[in-house]
Amino acid sequence: MLMLGRNPEEYVVIGEDIVIKVVSEDGSLKLAIDAPKEMPILRGEVYERTHEPPKCISRKPRS
């Protein structure tokens, strides 16, 4: 898994047609995702209703 530090308004590009931008809204950070309409995008908790978590996701308890 690649981990990048990004500040608000910075972004990463995946391939030729996916852009993920960090935005600040009301004091919280959010992700703005621009991808083709045919590309499914699911929040992790929704994905895990029907799939196992991806192997790169650690399930260590939070302290």
59 has a pLDDT exceeding 80:
no
Q: Is the dihedral of CA 40, 46, 49, 52 positive or negative?
A: positive
Residue 35 CA to residue 31 CA, distance in Å, equals 12
56 compared with 35, residue with greater pLDDT: 35
pTM of the predicted protein model: 0.78
* Alpha helical stretches, state H, the chain: 44-47
> Count of CB atoms within 10 A of residue 34's CB?
11
Give pLDDT, residue 2.
87
Give pLDDT, residue 58.
73
With a pLDDT cut of 70, the percent of the chain lying above it is 92
- In 3D, which of 37, 40, 34, 38 has the Cα closest to residue 17? 34
Residue 28 CA to residue 19 CA, distance in Å, equals 20
